[in-house]
Amino acid sequence: MAKKLLLAGGGHAHMMMLAHIGTLTTEGHEVTVVQPSNHHYYSGMGPGMLSGFYTAEDIRFRTRFVVERQGGRFLLDKAVRIDAEKQCVELESGIRQEYDVLSCNTGSFVPFNDIEGENDKIFSAKPIEQLLEAQKNIIGGCSNPDLSINIVGGGAAAAEIAGNVHHLAVKNGCPGVKVRIFAGSKLMKNATPAIQRIIRNYFQKKNITIDESGHVDRIENSTVIMKNGQSHSSDFIFLATGVQPSPLFSASDLPTGPDGGLLVNEYLQCPDHPEIFGGGDCIYYEPRPLEKVGVYAVRENPILLHNVLASLQGGTLQPFDPGGNFLAIFNLGGEYGALQKGLLNWGGKISFMVKDYIDRRFMTRFQSLEKE
């Protein structure tokens, strides 16, 4: 029996699902994809795009094109509420889209609301499209020899943005650019001590300042104001204070985890509504909390595909196994990377080359759908 499948978001965890839309439509199912952009950008390559190492085309997937060429329906829109009882999703445009099975991959956002005054020089780590806008602005500002850039955040995103924005400014004629990271109490506190040393030493060579004197209270007119009363003005500001799941699920009165993500069981399935599935940054995995990193979204791909198909066509669900330690490589700009896997920690060009190879292979696999 033909059914309606609705995919809210076309992110990392839905890549295999997008690749199989043609099979589903051939079998008579109606497949609809809702996404606020015609493209999906691979966040792991975002900092490299900021520095100019990658083009926008290198790191994005033509979601709309791939969906429509396989007989699916694409809606350039945003899900704002799920009515689980009536099995429909309310979109920002006012459309109510019905479903028999819903899979959510609506991503995450950077939560920082304490901004007053002008904000046209403030950019967020997500959505990735903002890094393109930031790149244009910074290149335009490189005529200023005293260019200064502040990054608010102490995690991997802040470190990667700092290194890559520094490289962008230097290669565009601003060798004296002043980059400062407001890292709270400690930069990369969840990384191994060896990785922390690698990043610190690299940033010291680049004259990138790491401020660990306290947390940021607010931003006023391009000035970062600390909780300790200190203030630091700059030409541009990046917000990289970590991410939170899409607010869609709390707005829909669906079960959520402590972070507001859609609560899912071992089958990546909402326990209260078995026809709803989810993956990526927007979920809270009930068996154990997962870091908001792309590797889990990639690992969820085959399980989401299998379980959604089983829900549509009848079949046994498969549990998701998050796996053990994963390889983490941080792009610090200038083709320099910091690699971490278990007890292995390594910094240098080779680390970046490994990351570049893995990322390009991932993108090539799914960009090939645009050419078939």
Q: Are residues 236 and 119 in the same domain?
A: yes
Q: Are residues 320 and 228 in the same domain?
A: no
Determine the Cα–Cα distance for residues 67 and 38; give it in Å rounded to an integer: 10
Give all strands (DSSP E) within 66-206, no chain letters. Answer: 73-76, 79-83, 88-91, 96-98, 101-104, 108-109, 115-116, 122-124, 148-152, 178-182
Tens of pLDDT, residues 54-92: 999 999 999 999 999 999 999 999 999 999 999 999 999
Given a cut of 70, whether residue 49 has pLDDT beyond it is yes
Determine the Cα–Cα distance for residues 230 and 223; give it in Å rounded to an integer: 10
Given a cut of 90, whether residue 280 has pLDDT beyond it is yes
Q: Are residues 318 and 249 in the same domain?
A: yes
Given a cut of 70, whether residue 372 has pLDDT beyond it is no
Given a cut of 80, whether residue 13 has pLDDT beyond it is yes
Confidence band for 196, pLDDT divided at 50, 70 and 90:
very high
Range of the domain at 150: 115-186+194-242
Planar angle of CA 202, 204, 210, nearest 5 degrees: 105
Give bridge partners of residue 65 from the DSSP assignment. none
Model confidence, pTM = 0.93
Instruction: Tell whether 55 is covered by a domain.
Output: no
Instruction: Tell whether 20 is covered by a domain.
Output: yes
Lowest mean pLDDT: which of 117-121, 135-139, 360-364? 117-121
The residue-averaged pLDDT of 261-281 equals: 97
The residue-averaged pLDDT of 135-143 equals: 95
The domain total for the chain is: 2
Q: Are residues 104 and 175 in the same domain?
A: no
How many CB atoms are closer than 10 A to CB 351? 22
Q: Are residues 267 and 166 in the same domain?
A: no
Taking CA atoms, 275 is separated from 26, 47, 50, in Å, by 22, 36, 39
Confidence band for 117, pLDDT divided at 50, 70 and 90:
low
Q: Any idea what DSSP says for residue 297?
A: H
Q: Are residues 27 and 82 in the same domain?
A: yes
Which of 369, 305, 316 is closest to 5 using CA atoms?
Answer: 305
Q: What is the mean pLDDT of the chain?
A: 94
Q: Are residues 103 and 119 in the same domain?
A: no
Q: Are residues 119 and 236 in the same domain?
A: yes
Confidence band for 329, pLDDT divided at 50, 70 and 90:
very high
Instruction: Tell whether 69 is covered by a domain.
Output: no
Determine the Cα–Cα distance for residues 9 and 104; give it in Å rounded to an integer: 6
Instruction: Tell whether 359 is covered by a domain.
Output: no
Confidence band for 342, pLDDT divided at 50, 70 and 90:
confident
Domain-terminating residue out of 300, 324, 348: 324
The values of phi and psi at residue 269, to 5°, are: -125, 135
Instruction: Tell whether 260 is covered by a domain.
Output: yes
Q: Secondary structure of the chain: what % helix, strand, coil (to 5)?
A: 35, 25, 40
Domain-terminating residue out of 227, 242, 257: 242
Give bridge partners of residue 237 from the DSSP assignment. 122, 150
Determine the Cα–Cα distance for residues 213 and 230; give it in Å rounded to an integer: 10
Given a cut of 80, whether residue 118 has pLDDT beyond it is no
Lowest mean pLDDT: which of 174-183, 239-248, 263-272? 239-248
> In percent, how much of the chain has pLDDT > 70?
99
Q: Are residues 203 and 287 in the same domain?
A: no
Q: Are residues 156 and 234 in the same domain?
A: yes
Instruction: Tell whether 333 is covered by a domain.
Output: no
Determine the Cα–Cα distance for residues 30 and 6; give it in Å rounded to an integer: 8
Instruction: Tell whether 59 is covered by a domain.
Output: no
CATH of the domain at 132: 3.50.50.60
Q: Are residues 119 and 238 in the same domain?
A: yes
Query: Chain centroid to CA 260: how far?
Result: 16
Instruction: Tell whether 335 is covered by a domain.
Output: no
Which of 129, 137, 331 is closest to 237 using CA atoms?
Answer: 137
Q: Are residues 25 and 123 in the same domain?
A: no
User: Can you give the pLDDT at residue 20?
Assistant: 94
